[in-house]
Amino acid sequence: MKKIELKTVFIEYNSLDELTQDDRGLVLLAKEAADTAYAPYSKFHVGAALKLENGVCIKGSNQENVAYPSGLCAERVAIFSASSQYPGIPVNTIAITAKTDSFKVDSPITPCGSCRQVLAEYERLFKKPIRVILTGETGSVYVIDKIEDLLPLSFKADKLKK
């Protein structure tokens, strides 16, 4: 028997001011995307912006539905949109943020498990790490080198066959 430890390593910046201009630009696109959320039920507006390897940026926001599970998170709206408009082009970075009228989102939003699973699939497909930038409306910023770091021991295609 042995004990195995899995660690998530990421960088915390004090604010957006500490990011590079490129990364700050992507966060601003994610903030723009949050304004396009359709979130009448949760009132929680999430925005995601992806930068592709060809330089194109794609935005997505959460889209809710009265049949709650039919809605989709901002991250998946963004990556499915990117993959359908630019199939085969790897993703370089994703920025994710959120806002709500009910309170100040004063710490970084962290993606749900389903979004991590979906992002991980594209990371593996392209054999290229997808950097992740997480922010709230205010407060610190987390930067993670790759999706795999956010989803250790994930379910992978190699388990489907022997």
Task: Tell me which residues are annotated as active site.
Answer: 75
Quote the least distance from Cβ 123 to ligand THU, whole Å: 17
**In this structure, are residues 96 and 135 in contact, taking their beta carbons and an 8 Å threshold?**
yes
| Integer Rg of the chain from CA | 16
Concatenated DSSP letters of 95-135: EEEEEESSS---S-----HHHHHHHHHHHHHHTS--EEEE-
Query: Between 4 and 43, how does the x/- string for binding to ligand THU read (CB under 6 A)?
Result: -----------------------------------x--x-
The whole-angstrom separation of Cα 25 and Cα 50 is: 11
Query: Between 66 and 105, how does the x/- string for binding to ligand THU read (CB under 6 A)?
Result: -----x-xxx------------------------------
Q: In this chain, which of 112, 113, 155, 156 binds ligand THU, going by CB under 6 A?
A: 112
**In this structure, are residues 132 and 122 in contact, taking their beta carbons and an 8 Å threshold?**
no
Of 30 and 109, the one with the shorter C-beta distance to ligand THU is 109
Query: Would you count residue 64 as binding ligand THU (CB under 6 A)?
Result: yes
